[in-house]
Amino acid sequence: MLATTFASSLHGLRASLVRVEVECSRGPGAFDLVGLAEASVRESRVRVRSALAQVGVSLDEHRVVVNLAPGDVRKGGAGFDLAIAVATLGALGRVELGVLGDALLLGELSLTGELRPVRGVLPQLLGARERGLTRAIVPLACAAEASVVRGVDALVAASLVEVVAHLSAGSALPRAMPSEAGPAVGPADVDMSEVRGQPLARRALELAAAGHHHVLLVGPPGAGKTMLARRLPGLLPPLTEDESLETTAVHSVAGLLGPSEGLLSARPVRAPHHTVSAAGLVGGGTPLRPGEISLAHHGVLFLDEIAELKRATLETLRQPIEEGHVVIARAREIATYPARPLLVAASNPCPCGFFGDGTPRCKCPMERVRQYVGRLSGPLVDRLDVHVQLPPASVVALADGAPGEGTVAIRERVGRARAEQLERRRRGEVRARDNGSLGPADLDRVATPDAAGRALLLAAAERLGLSARAFAKVRRVARTAADLAGSDAVTAAHVAEAVGLRVFDRGLVSASPAA
């Protein structure tokens, strides 16, 4: 007898619907599985056989043939177990599959028949919905994640026994319910008011948050680079529903969602160690998994000690920063992951870290300073909107200085600036969602400086030898400065600020950074 159920296979964030066909016949015990299945899928034979024994079904006198169609699409993971087990029960006549209809079945089986969670439930349900499936059964541990997909009636089960009872005895399975987590805007235990001094770096982070501009902070140890970077997430507005869905899908595929986590409410913050590999940073491995730049999608990616990263690893950032996604191509598989974080990089100005701090502690020859800073290639630095050199922290400011402006006040200004950018998009003036993504046509429409600003911009471009990309970056940052000031026009003051925040275009690092 032949029975059919539906499962799903992940390829990056794209889910392919898989038709699970099972034929059972009397004969010597055998379990054959075909359909370009990887080892993790082929091993389901052992798990399914043992789980079926827990519901009183023995396969010792049956020949079972499982076909995963289409046969030319590679299948991986343990999420096929439930679909194979239920189709086998249907082929044996032990359950009536008509109760299921066209339902997607996801879940890994333990040897005792318990349903274990699988990664990627959210994108798999989204893929099933696109192909017309409106029902699903998923493990109980994936309930919060499954509940966020509108248009799919997701039921949850803790074991194969519960699924069999649902199919044979009409026992109702509970529906997936969302978690009760509320919206979050960033870490509550850090605040910008704790940062005393460093006005230029504070302003750089405000611009970065308001317009989605990538930032490079260069300064000696203890200048506050890490402290500032950790407070950037708090300046960002809450995730929108679409952003939350995209971010949650990436974390789901990576297997990072907890049992009670549905849609992520806080922007992700990733801070990998400087020994991270290229695959760890942009994605890779077997099976292909998203890297740190994708896990930080719509959030913040903090690369501390960026000059210590391997050159080859650093250069993998070029294309994702520019394109907003990562395409990982291997001989057997191609996966595309979104990659649009706000990048914040921090570096010392020299190997010892004290070059330009106003003391004689630095003994690094100038050639070593140039080599150290030169680890950041020109093409990579060119893609960073804002470069700031921090002076040493002022002891007087730390001891006696007044607290700086708090996170809440800055976040309100950032929110107003972002709202103006979204309004321009709604009116059809631009296609980009923020200033950091403005294309050439968008820049001409909304970021053309006034006469004085244009003269200053052209003079700066000539004097500094700005590349075409850097020239556009300056215009984008100037547009954000105008938005923060509530100005429709981009003036010379906004252009001057944007030019002043690109220290690498003025000759790498200085021996005497401005206070």
DSSP structure string for 417-478: HHHHHHHHHHTTS-S-SSGGG--HHHHHHH--B-HHHHHHHHHHHHHHT--HHHHHHHHHHH
Question: Cα separation of 341 and 208, whole Å?
Answer: 11
For 269-329, strand residue ranges (E) read: 269-270, 283-284, 289-290, 300-303, 325-329
Contacts 24+ apart (CB under 8 A), 406-412: 406/191, 406/192, 406/193, 407/186, 407/190, 407/191, 407/192, 407/193, 407/231, 407/234, 407/235, 410/192, 410/206, 410/209, 410/235, 411/185, 411/209, 411/234, 411/235, 411/236, 411/237
User: What letter does residue 502 receive in the DSSP assignment?
Assistant: B
Write b or e for each residue in 402-412: b if 16 or more Cβ atoms lie within 10 A of its Cβ, otherwise e: eebbebeebbe
Question: pLDDT tens across 320-346, in order?
Answer: 999 999 999 887 788 999 999 999 999
Question: Cα separation of 153 and 172, whole Å?
Answer: 13
Q: Please determine, for residue 508, whether its predicted confidence score (pLDDT) is greater than 90.
A: no
Nearest C-alpha neighbor of 82 from the set 177, 162, 24: 162
User: Which amino acid is present at 432?
Assistant: A
Question: Cα separation of 392 and 376, whole Å?
Answer: 22
Backbone angles phi, psi at 37, to 5 degrees: -95, 140
Q: How many residues does the chain have?
A: 515
pLDDT confidence of residue 236: 95
pLDDT confidence of residue 185: 47
User: What letter does residue 62 receive in the DSSP assignment?
Assistant: E
Q: Please determine, for residue 68, whether its predicted confidence score (pLDDT) is greater than 80.
A: yes
Query: How is residue 127 written in tokens?
Result: 């893929």
Helix (H, G, I), strand (E, B) or coil at 233: helix
Decide the pairing of beta strands 283-284 and 289-290: antiparallel
pLDDT band for 515, please (50, 70, 90 cuts): very low
Task: Answer positive or negative: Cα dihedral of 401, 407, 408, 410.
Answer: positive
User: Which amino acid is present at 177?
Assistant: M
Q: Please determine, for residue 165, whether its predicted confidence score (pLDDT) is greater than 90.
A: yes
pLDDT confidence of residue 373: 87
Helix (H, G, I), strand (E, B) or coil at 218: strand
pLDDT confidence of residue 325: 95
Average pLDDT, the chain: 91
For each of the domains in the chain, give its residue range(s) and CATH number, in order of start.
Answer: 2-168 (3.30.230.10), 192-506 (3.40.50.300)
Q: What is the pTM of this model?
A: 0.91
Which range (302-316, 337-351, 463-477, 501-515) has the least confidence? 501-515
Region 4-32: what's the mean pLDDT?
94
276: which residues sit within 8 A by CB, 6+ positions away?
Answer: 292, 309, 313
Nearest C-alpha neighbor of 323 from the set 264, 377, 364, 383: 383
Backbone angles phi, psi at 249, to 5 degrees: -60, -40
Alpha-carbon distances, residue 142 vs 16, 109, 212, 307, 466 (angstroms): 19, 14, 33, 40, 51
Alpha-carbon distances, residue 449 vs 424, 470, 480, 496 (angstroms): 17, 16, 12, 11
pLDDT confidence of residue 130: 95
Tally Cβ neighbours within 10 Å of residue 362.
20
Query: How is residue 470 written in tokens?
Result: 């850097």
Question: pLDDT tens across 166-218, in order?
Answer: 998 888 999 998 866 544 545 556 899 998 888 999 999 999 999 999 999 99
Region 70-79: what's the mean pLDDT?
91
Placement of tokens 């906004």 in the chain? 494
Query: How is residue 67 written in tokens?
Result: 């076909």
pLDDT band for 105, please (50, 70, 90 cuts): very high
